[in-house]
Amino acid sequence: MSDVLLGLARRLRLGPLTERYNSVLVLGLFAFVNGLISIGLMSLVALATGQPFVFPSLGPTAFLLFYTPTAPAASPRNTVAGHLIGAVAGYVSLAVFGLLDEGPALLVGVDWPRVGAAALSLGATAGLMVWLKVPHPPAGATTLIVSLGLIATVPKLVVLMLGVLLLVGQGYVINRLAGIDYPRWSPSPGTG
């Protein structure tokens, strides 16, 4: 993250900021501002559309995109593929256990089919991300959000993925503005 901050500081001619203040303070402020802006924008889109453009696993995704932007898990490919795998695995798990028409576990409770759906979705998500070489840890939260029935219809899952794409777009712009060699799609060679 310090590379992102230093790149932005150079481009915005704020070098004295990083020289004058404790780097932890400046990095924390940078993380605060990026988190506020990225999730704030997503929340505004959610408010304007009435759709779930913001969901819990976007928080750790935003952290990865802005704190460790050159890590393979933060690449657009891993981020998009990981969340897509999580959403599909969660939905398929709901179908396998006959839960597509059930309410969310937070309202109806957890029973044996829900335990099975949650376990299957997380196992499938983890395995598929490893086998396809697209690890993105926040996708583990996405699959549980779906398999627990919090976001469980195909139209809502499409919106969920649009939210991921919007966040990746923000990450791309901010990291590129900072002069970070943030990948266009795949992790840079030698970062895995």
Residue spans of the domains in the chain: they are: 2-177
3-state SS, residue 190: coil
pLDDT for 134 equals 98
Compare 190 and 89 and report the one with higher pLDDT: 89
Q: Tens of pLDDT along 69-108?
A: 899 999 999 999 999 999 999 999 999 999 999 999 999 9
The residue written with tokens 């335990």 in the block is 115
- How far is the C-alpha of 153 from the C-alpha of 184, rounded, in Å? 30
Sorted by sequence, the CB contacts under 8 Å of residue 88 that are 6+ apart come out as none
- One-letter identity of residue 153: T
Whole-number mean pLDDT of the chain? 88
pTM given for the model: 0.86
Q: Tens of pLDDT along 25-36?
A: 777 777 788 888
Percent pLDDT > 90 in the chain is 67
pLDDT for 110 equals 95
Q: Tens of pLDDT along 40-75?
A: 999 999 999 999 889 999 999 999 998 888 999 999
The CA distances from residue 92 to 62, 89, 97, 166, in Å, are 26, 5, 9, 25
Pair 48, 27: CB distance under 8 Å: no
Residue from 64, 67, 82, 89 nearest 2 by CA: 67
Residue 123 has pLDDT above 80, yes or no: yes
Q: Is the dihedral of CA 128, 130, 133, 135 positive or negative?
A: positive
